[in-house]
Amino acid sequence: MWRRGILLAAVLVGGCSGESDVGDARPEPKREAGQPAPPADAGTRVGHGANAPRVPVPRNDPSPPTATIVLATPGGRTLGEASEPPGRQPSAVEELHEPRLQGTTIGRDPDGGVARVRVSLREVITCRAHGGTTKRPRIRYFPPPQIERIRSNVGARLPSEKRRTLALTLGRGRCGAGEAVEVEAQLWGEAINGTGLEAVTPHLRLFWVR
């Protein structure tokens, strides 16, 4: 009887102390039925920023996102950029000392979230083979275009900022047995928000010669 009394007192003291081994844990919010996961390309090579807040997709959103394309060296030194709506605009053709570059598209939409960002590159490649030269065009999109329109469900939560960074090499794999000796190129970016509105940046013009 004496031992039972001590045990009961210990239980009462522990229950009134306000301390708990589980701390202040709260259950994670459940995803509503019908609320989609982020688009398949939500995870890009550099992600979309650990601090980028997520916002719900509205039913109506009259304002498109903003988009910025940044041209940089493989080491990350910025060579030029352009934005839509207009901000810093491209000037003259950027002459590259090597055929390698880094392209980054940054999309922002604090009202409706960003569903997708794309980096695009158009090239006119001069190939040399057997003593002569030929010009071969090529356009590359990252990720490739889709036939259906991108539109997220109302209420889905998307990041307010998303970016995609790619390492690119001009002329690679286009000349067959020959070699690329000159490339004229254009680099641009695109951002699409949760309601399907898009922004396309002005094109940055590039030139490389061997």
CB atoms within 10 A of CB 19: 8
Angle at 122 (CA atoms; ends 121, 128), nearest 5 degrees: 120
Torsion of CA 73, 182, 90, 83, to 10 degrees: -70
Does 18 fall in a domain?
Answer: no
* Strand, helix or coil for residue 133: strand
* Amino acid identity for residue 67 in this structure: A
Number of domains in the chain: 1
Domain with residue 135: its CATH number is 2.60.40
pLDDT of res. 90: 65
pLDDT of res. 3: 43
Query: Which residues touch 41 (CB under 8 Å, ≥6 apart)?
Result: 116, 143, 164
Look up the domain containing 101 and give its range: 44-209
Does 22 fall in a domain?
Answer: no
Does 32 fall in a domain?
Answer: no
Does 150 fall in a domain?
Answer: yes
- DSSP H helix total and E strand total for the chain: 1, 12
CA distance 63 to 69: 19
Its sign, for the CA torsion 152, 155, 161, 166, is negative
Report CA Rg, the chain. Answer: 26
* Strand, helix or coil for residue 10: helix
CB 95 within 8 A of CB 205: no
Q: Which residue stretches of the chain have pLDDT < 70? A: 1-52, 87-91, 147-150
Question: Which of 155, 201, 166, 138 has its CA nearest to residue 41?
Answer: 166
Does 102 fall in a domain?
Answer: yes
Does 88 fall in a domain?
Answer: yes
Torsion of CA 144, 57, 108, 100, to 10 degrees: -20
Torsion of CA 176, 177, 181, 182, to 10 degrees: -10
Does 86 fall in a domain?
Answer: yes
CA distance 65 to 199: 6
Angle at 146 (CA atoms; ends 141, 150), nearest 5 degrees: 115
CA distance 47 to 157: 16
Does 20 fall in a domain?
Answer: no
